[in-house]
Amino acid sequence: MVNETRASRAEYYKVLADKLPPNALVVTSLGNASYLWAAMHHAPENFYFEDAMGLALPLALGLAVAQPKRPVFVVEGDGALMMHMGSLVTIGAVAPGNLTVLLIQNGVHAASGGQALTSSKLDLAALARAAGIGRAENVATPQAFASAMGTPPMGDGARFLVLSTRPDVEVVRPPIAFDPVLTKHRFMEALGMPRYVPTMFGGGRLGGE
């Protein structure tokens, strides 16, 4: 039997919840990335993804640009990153100093059943640096993560932390219903944004107009 020495996602999340700045916005990708974070630290300032693998990074990048005075954290998986590798290049080019990417490197597609990645040994921090993200590093333990989280979240360009994590294929039951529309409206209200009112043939408007 192989002795699994990597920390769990929950151990890293405990550190994140403890070190998270009070005005931070958090985007989590599909599956346990969102389910477990909701179970441990549900807040209106969380944006939970459902059924959109690989799109947490692009959304978080746009959010960081739109909310430059607030630190933005995004949790993405190594498998999802492989699907949208171009997002690294865009983050490196835009270089939002308020964005922190927390990449869960567990070597599997956990949300779809635990299939092994084709390249589970990639140095993803080196890959991020090659894409122009200078503040990229591999993190092997929750203690090292706590140390990294102790530095100011706002800096020169995005921050990219690769968290070495053991797989968690068993699905966590979240404490709330994961409805994408409700998630969007709750998040917009937390940001103080007016609700978008769609119309049947386009040309929607913002609430209050």
Domains of the chain by start residue, with CATH: 9-169 (3.40.50.970)
The CB-side HSE value for 122 (13 A sphere, CA atoms) comes to: 23
Strand partners, 26: 46, 73
Enter the DSSP assignment of 19. Answer: H
Which pTM value belongs to this model? 0.88
Query: Does position 85 have pLDDT exceeding 70, yes or no?
Result: yes
Query: Does position 144 have pLDDT exceeding 90, yes or no?
Result: yes
Return the percentage of the chain with pLDDT > 70, whole number.
86
Strands 159-164 and 135-139: parallel
Burial of 116 (0-12, 13-18, 19+ CB in 10 A): exposed
Can you give the pLDDT at residue 1? Answer: 40
DSSP E strand boundaries for 115-207: 115-116, 135-139, 159-164, 196-197, 205-206
CA pair distance 113, 110, nearest whole angstrom: 5
Going by C-alpha positions, the residue among 107, 80, 79, 82 that lies closest to residue 167 is: 107
Strands 205-206 and 99-105: unpaired
Query: Does position 86 have pLDDT exceeding 60, yes or no?
Result: yes
Can you give the pLDDT at residue 200? Answer: 65
97 SS3 class = coil
CA pair distance 116, 113, nearest whole angstrom: 9
CA pair distance 163, 86, nearest whole angstrom: 20
From residue 147, how far is each of 16, 98, 125, 141 by CA, in Å?
11, 18, 17, 10
Strand partners, 101: 74, 160
Query: Does position 94 have pLDDT exceeding 90, yes or no?
Result: yes
Residue 52 binned pLDDT confidence (cut-offs 50, 70, 90): confident
